[in-house]
Structure 1
C-alpha cells in the first residue's frame, strides 16, 4: 500500500505528462486547421511546460528519454509543428519569409550540436585520472568549471536558448510578419554561438589541466614528500559512505601519516569532514602508484568487489576493521580470510569468528575495541524531563531477505504505535539509509511509519524555539559546511572541487570537531522538546542521537553493540521466528536487552523500567556484556588500535627488508653467472683453433 504522501505527487506527475501530450496534440491540430490563437497558445505553453519540468521534475522527463522521446526530439517536434503552422497560415510568404526562418532554425540546431560536441571534449579534458581532497594540487593548474548550462545541461541549454526563437516564430504566426521570427532566431543564434565559443576557451592551454602522465608524476612526487604510512581503503555505493565515515576520527589520530584511498569519484564528496588526505583511484592501473610509496598497511571497513584489486600489492599489509559488529552472519564473512589480520572490538567477536568456522585463524584476530565510541555519553540515570526520548533505529533488510534482519516490516508499525500512544514519549526515528533497497515491503513500511509519526505530531502542540534558534542553526550549518568543503557553486565540477579542497588550514581536525559539536547542539536546540523527529540525513550522526535518547529500540545490528558503551537500557525486536530463549542464546548482543515480539506488547512495561531504574533488571548484565563486546576500557581503545597499526606496519617493514635482501642476494648471483658465461664465450672466440685440435 503506497504512502499517502506519494499518491498526490504521482497524480501531479501524471497530469504534467498528459498536459504535455495534450499540448502537442493541440499544436498539431491548430497548425493543420489552422487556428492561430490556439496554435500560438499551445506552442508557447508547450515550451514553458517543458522548461518548468526540466527544472522542477527532471526525473519525470528522464522517463520520456527511456522511450526515445528526449528533449531534442521534443524540441524538434515543437519547431517542426511551428513551421507547419507558418506554412498553413495565410499571409506568410513561404519563399520570402518562411524559407529564411527555416534556414536560420537549421543553423541554430547545427550550432546546438556543435556546442554539445565542444561540451563533451571539455568534460573529457577536465576528467583527471585521479581525484584528491585535502591535498594542495595547485601545481596541476586546475581551473574553475565552465557554466553548467553550457557544459553539462544539454536539455536546459537547448530549451533555454530556444525561447527567443519560439517566441519570435509564434509572434510571426500571430502578426504574419516574419520580422519577429528573424529577431527571435537571431537572438537564439547569438546565444548558442556565443555559448559554444565561450565554452571552447576551456580547451585552451591556460584552462586545460596537465596530461594524465603529468598528473601521475605529480602524485608520485606528493607521495614521496608526504610519506604515507597507513591508509583506509573504501569502495561502495552512494548510501554506503557511513561505513567509512565512522572511522575518520580514529584514522586522523593514528601515529604516522594517514591516507584515505577511494575508488569511486562520487565518493570523494560523500566522505565527511576530515583533515586526512584523500586520493580516489577510479582505475586500478593508477592505484599501483601506492606500491612504490612508503605506505605500509591498509584498513578495510567493508568488503567490496574492488578490494581484491588492492590486495594484489605485495608490499602492503591489510587489516579488516569492519563498519560495525553484530551477531549477524554478515559480520563473519569468509572473505575475511583474504586479509592479514581481522580487527575486532572484544572477545565476543573473536568467539564469533571461531564458531563460524570460516577459516579465519584465531592468531589473526586482534582485539582493538571501538575507538570511535568515545563521543557517546554514559548512562546518567532515569529521565528527568517531561518526556522520555526513545530512539528507534532499525537496521535494513540485508541481502538475503531474512525476515529477522529488520523489524521494520513485521514489527515496526506496532513498535511505533505503542510509543506514540504514550503522551510522555518523544520518538526519534532513524532508519538505516539502505532501508527498502532490497525489499520493497521494507521501503513501504518505512514510509508508513513516517506517516504515522507526522500524523502524531499534528495532534501535539507546545512552545517552539524562537527564531534565534533557527538562525543559530543556520549559522552553525554554514560554518560546518565551510570546514567540510561541501559549499560549492552549482556549476562546480570535479576539477573545481579538487582545486578548492586543498590542504586544510591550521588544526582543521580540532576546528571540525568543535564546529560539529556546535552544530549538533544548535540542531537539537532548534527542535521542540515535545515533537517527534524523523532523521534520514547523515547529520545528526547516530552517536548524537544516542546522547539524546534514554532508550534504544533496534534490531540485531552493530547499533546495539555501540549503544552498549553507554550502558543505557535497550530493547531488540525479535522477528526471527525463534523463541525468546533461543533468540538470546543465538545472539549474544541481545542478552542484556528487553526482547520485543512482533506485536510489541512489551513496550509499556519497557518504558516503565526506563523511568523507574529499580525495575530495570538488566543493568548489571549490560555492564558485563559491554566489556565482553567492546573489550576492557583500560588501556583505551584508541591506544590499542594504534598499537595494532604500528605492529602490522612493522610486519610490513620486515617483509620489505626480507624482499630487499633476497633481491640483493639473487641479482649478484645472476650477474656472476652471466659474467662467467660471457667470459667463457669470449675466451673461446679468442682461442687458436689449432690448439683445440691438438688437444683433441
Structure 2
C-alpha cells in the first residue's frame, strides 16, 4: 500500500494533479505512522530491501518538491529555500543517528546487574526512544514539513512550505542538541574500569557461595527460569550469572542477585571471589569459558530429562558432577558410554515439580475428558521420531476432536518450526483444526454472537499484554463476564508485578538503575499472583471448550493439573508429567516397532504407545474413564520413582545436600592449593 501511494504521488506530480498529489502524500505519511505504531511487522520486508523510513520519507519529499515545481507558482528562491531546509532536516536527522550510536556505546556497561545496589555508579535514565530510534523520529518529525509543502501545493502560498519545514528543522535540530546532553560528563555512565572495580568490591562484600550460570539465545530463558526458585531456596548466598545482555530482562522475578558478564576478561573476576559452585541448566559454547576457573566446582543439572540423545550429551563429562533426577538418567549415561563417570552422577530429583497435583481418580462420568497434547519440536537433527507434529499431529487431533467426550488442550513447543518450516506449517494446521472445532462446539452450545463478542473483547483486554509477548492464545471467550472480569483483575496485578521496572525505550543502564535495590518479597508476590492468575484463567474458560495455548502462560505444569490424559513425544514433558502419576501416551513416529520403541525409551515403559494413525486412541480414552481398564497404573508408580527418584526425602532436600557436598569439595581443593602455595613459599625462603 505504501508503494502504491508513492506511485500515486509520482503520477500526481507528473500530470500535474494537486488533489492526487496531496491525498497520496498525506496518506502515505499517515499510513507509515499508523503501521509503525500498531503493526510494525508489516514494515519489516521493506527494511530488508533497504527501503526504511528514511528512504520512504526521502521519496515522498522528492515527489512533493517535484509537484511544487509543476503546480505552485513560487519563486526560484523559495524553491531553493525549501530544498535547503529539507537538506538541513536530513542533516540534523543523520547527526542525531550518529549521536545515538555514541550515546548507546557510552551507556554499554561491562557488567549488568539486578537486585544489587548500583547507586554508587551514578546511572541515569536512557534518552527518550524518539531520540535514539530513527524509524520513530523520521516520519513523526517530518509531519510539519510534509503538511506545509502540501499546503503550498493546494493553495499556492509559499509561506506554508517555509513554515512547515522550519518547524521540522527545529524538531530535528532540537533532537540532536537534546541527545548530545547525554554525552556531557555529568550524564555519562562511569568508565569500564570504575564499573569493574565496583563489581569487585561487591563480590568481596556479598561473598557468594553458589551460583546459577546460564548462556543462551533468545527464547531460551525458560531453561534458567525453571531453576531460579530451587536455587533461591538454598542455604548461603546465591547468585545468578548470565552471559548475554538480552537475557537480563527475560529473567523471571527473583530476589537473587543477578550479574550479566558478557566478556571473558570480566568473567574471570569470579576466580578471585568466594564462589564455590556453579550450577549449569544447559550446555552452551560460552560454558567452556567459565569452566577454566579452577576455584569453582561445576554441576550440570540440565533443563529437563528425556530419552533423547541430548540428555546424555558427551559434553557433560567436562563438569565436576552431573546431577540427575533419578536412577533412569544414571542408567542412561552408563548405557550411552559418553565418558561420564558413574561416581560423578548425583540423583537430586526435580525440585520444580512440586506444583504438580497427584492423580485423584478418573474424570466425572458426566464431564469431559481433558486431553493435553503437548508435542515437542523437531530438534536439530532429521530424526522423524523427534516430534509427532508433522507425521501424526493432524491425524491425532482430528481423532480427538471427533470424540464428543474430549476437551482438547493443544500446547506446542515454542521452538516448533524454528529449524524446519514444514513443522511450523503443520503446527498452524493443527491450530486451525482446534479453532474450527471450538467454533462449531460453541455454536452448538448456543452462545449468542453479541455475548461471545463482548466476552472475547474483555478477555483481550485482560490478556492483551501477555498475548502481545506471545504468552497466550485462547481460541474462545471466557465462560461468563464475572469470570472474565476476575481474570482481567488478576492479569493487571500480575502485569504490574512483572513489568514494574520496564519502560519503553529503557536500556540496560536504566534497567540496572531501576532494579538496583532488591525488592523484598517481590518473588513471593509474583508467585502468589501467578497462582491466582492460573486459577482465574481456568475459571474463565468453558470446561468443555478446546484451547490452543502458547507461550509461558498458562505454564505447562498448570496444564498438567487440568489434564486427565497427556499425549506427547519422547521428551522431558513425559518425565515431568509422571510426577502426578496420571495416564499418558507417547506417539511413535520413529519407525520402530512397539517393543523396540519401549526398549529404546524408558519413559515409554508405562505409556500407551500410539502410532501415526492414532488407532489406539478409543481404548486409551476408555481406560482413562474406567480405572479398571487402566492396566498401567502400577507401572506408572514404579516408573515415577525410576525417573524422578524417591519422594522422601523431598527433592529440594536432596538438591541442598548435593550443593553442600560440592561446596565442601571446592573448599577442600582451595585448602590444598593454599597448603601447596605456602609450601612453595617456604622452600623459596630456605633457598634464598
Is the pair's TM-score, using the shorter chain for normalization, greater than 0.5?
yes
**Is 1:241 paired with 2:221?**
yes
Aligned to 1:688: none
Counterpart of 1:430? 411
Q: Secondary structure at the match of 1:247?
A: helix
Q: Could you tell me how far 1:116 is from its partner in structure 2?
A: 1.4
Is residue 637 of structure 2 the alignment partner of residue 623 of structure 1?
yes
Tell me the alpha carbon deviations over residues 420-451 of structure 1, each in whole angstroms, 9 at most, x when there is no partner: 11222111111111111112111111100100
Q: 1:367 to 1:191 in 2, by over 3 A?
A: same
1:133 counterpart = 2:147: no
Is the aligned partner of 1:142 residue 2:123? yes
Per-residue deviation, 1:196: 2.0
Cross-structure match for 2:25: 43
Task: Report the 3-state secondary structure (helix = DSSP H, G, I; strand = E; otherwise coil) of the residue aligned with 1:409.
Answer: coil
Partner of 1:571: 585
C-alpha distance in structure 1 between counterparts of 2:236 and 2:514, whole Å: 26
- After superposition, residues 483-502 of structure 1 pair within 5 angstroms as 483-485=497-499, 488-502=502-516
CA gap of 1:62–1:376, structure 2 versus 1, over 3 A, is same
- Residue 34 of structure 1 aligns to a residue whose secondary structure is coil
Larger mean CA deviation between 347-356 and 27-36 belongs to: 27-36
* CA-CA distance at 1:389 after TM superposition: 1.1
Correspondences of 1:14-413 after superposition (within 5 Å)? 16=1, 20-89=2-71, 91-95=73-77, 97-151=78-132, 153-384=133-364, 386-413=367-394
Write the deviation string for residues 542-570 of structure 1: whole angstroms up to 9, x where unpaired.
11111111111001111111111111000
Q: TM-score, normalised by structure 1?
A: 0.91
Change over 3 Å in CA distance of 1:598–1:486 after alignment to 2? farther
Quote the Cα distance in structure 2 between the aligned partners of 1:21 and 1:354.
62
- Out of 468-477 and 347-356, give the one that drifted further: 468-477
Asked if the contact 1:346/1:627 (under 8 Å) is kept, the reply is yes
Measure the CA separation in 2 of the matches of 1:672 and 1:103.
Answer: 83
Q: How far apart are the structure 1 equivalents of 2:549 and 2:281?
A: 24
Mapped to 2, the partners of 1:482 and 1:69 lie a distance apart of 38
Deviates more, 1:606-615 or 1:520-529: 520-529
Structure 1 runs, 4 residues or longer, greater than 4 Å off: none
- Are residues 438 and 121 of structure 1, via their aligned partners in 2, closer, same or farther at CA, if it must alter by over 3 Å? same
Cα distance between partner residues in 2 of 1:507 and 1:49: 46
Partner secondary structure for residue 390 of structure 2:
helix
Q: Is the 8 A contact 1:274 1:512 kept in 2?
A: no
Q: Look up the match of 2:559.
A: 545
Deviation for aligned residue 1:124: 1.5
- CA distance in 2: counterparts of 1:325 and 1:191, whole angstroms: 57
2:6, 2:494 → 1: CA distance? 48
Structure 1 residues 394-403 or 113-122, which shifts more?
Answer: 113-122
Task: Name the CA distance, whole Å, in 2 between partners of 1:549 and 1:113.
Answer: 56
Task: Describe the shift of the 1:486–1:586 C-alpha distance in structure 2 as closer, same or farther (beyond 3 A).
Answer: farther
Which of 380, 384, 395 is matched with 1:414 structurally? 395
Q: Secondary structure at 1:109's aligned position in 2?
A: helix
Do the aligned partners of 1:269 and 1:486 also contact (CA within 8 Å) in 2? no
1:419 shift after superposition = 1.2
- Shift of residue 657 of structure 1? 1.0
Say which is worse superposed, 601-610 or 482-491, in terms of deviation: 482-491
Look up the match of 2:609: 595
Shift of residue 25, structure 1, vs aligned partner: 2.4
Q: Is the 8 A contact 2:253 2:522 kept in 1?
A: no
Alpha-carbon spacing, 1:633–1:489, altered in 2? closer, same or farther (3 Å):
same
Following superposition, the deviation at residue 71 of structure 1 comes to: 2.1
Q: 1:456 aligns with which of 428, 431, 437?
A: 437
Quote how far apart the aligned CAs of 1:479 are: 2.4
Q: Distance in 1 between matches of 2:134 and 2:520?
A: 41
Aligned residue in 1 for 2:548: 534
Instruction: Indicate if the aligned counterparts of 1:140 and 1:210 stay in contact, CA closer than 8 A.
Output: yes
Instruction: Using the TM superposition, name which of 371-380 and 465-474 deviates more.
Output: 465-474
DSSP-derived class of the 1:553 partner? strand
Counterpart CA distance in 2 for 1:99 and 1:512 is 61
Partners of 2:72 and 2:152 within 8 A in 1: no
Write the distance in 2 (CA, Å) between the matches of 1:471 and 1:204. Answer: 49
User: How much has 1:591 moved relative to structure 2?
Assistant: 0.6
Report how far residue 314 of structure 1 moved.
1.0
Deviation at 1:486, TM superposition (A): 5.5
- Contact 2:376 2:416 (C-alpha < 8 Å) held by counterparts: yes
Mapped to 2, the partners of 1:415 and 1:154 lie a distance apart of: 48
Q: Which residue of 1 aligns with 2:468?
A: none
Shift of 1:109: 1.3
Q: Equivalent of 2:671, from 633, 657, 663?
A: 657
1:251 shift after superposition: 0.8
- Deviation track 1:568-600 (CA, whole Å, cap 9, x = no partner) reads 000000000111111111111101000100001
Larger Rg: 1
Deviation at 1:32, TM superposition (A): 2.9
Deviations 1:619-642 (A, max 9, x none): 000011111111111111111111
Distance 1:289 1:482 in 2: 35
Give the aligned partner of residue 581 of structure 1: 595
| CA–CA separation in structure 2 for the residues paired with 1:509 and 1:108 | 48
The whole-number CA distance in structure 1 between the counterparts of 2:141 and 2:105 is 24
Partner deviation per Cα, 1:132-172 (whole Å, 9 max, x = no partner):
11222222222222211111x20120111001001101111
- In structure 1, what is the Cα distance between the partners aligned to 2:681 and 2:654? 41
Shift of 1:672: 4.3
Counterparts of 2:354 and 2:250 in 1: how far apart (Å)? Answer: 23
- Where 2:441 maps in the other structure, the secondary structure is coil
Q: 1:488 and 1:177 mapped to 2: Cα distance?
A: 47
Aligned equivalents of 2:91 and 2:234: distance in 1? 58
1:273, 1:485 within 8 Å by CA — same for their partners in 2?
Answer: no
> Distance between the aligned counterparts of 1:487 and 1:530, measured in 2?
38
Deviates more, 1:538-547 or 1:504-513: 504-513
Check 1:380–1:340 CA distance in 2 against 1; reply closer, same or farther (3 A cut). Answer: same
C-alpha distance after superposition, 1:458-492 (max 9, x if no partner) = 11124753333223223222322333346623232
Please tell me whether the aligned partners of residues 369 and 630 of structure 1 are also in contact (alpha carbons under 8 angstroms): yes
Shift of 1:671: 4.4
How far did 1:195 drift?
2.0
In the alignment of these two chains, the number of paired residues is 654
User: What CA distance in whole angstroms lies between the structure 2 residues aligned with 1:423 and 1:276?
Assistant: 48
Tell me whether 504-513 or 235-244 shows the greater mean CA deviation.
504-513
C-alpha distance in 1, partners of 2:18/2:532? 62
The two structures have a TM-score, normalised by structure 2, of: 0.92
| Pairwise CA distance, 1:90 | 5.3
Secondary structure of 1:390 counterpart: strand
Provide the secondary structure at the position in 2 that maps to 1:454. Answer: helix
CA distance in 2, matches of 1:46, 1:560: 53
Maintained 8 Å contact 2:112/2:259? yes
Counterpart position of 1:3: none
Against the structure 1 CA distance between its residues 471 and 493, is the aligned structure 2 distance closer, same or farther, given a 3 Å change threshold? farther
Q: 2: distance between equivalents of 1:486 and 1:272? A: 12
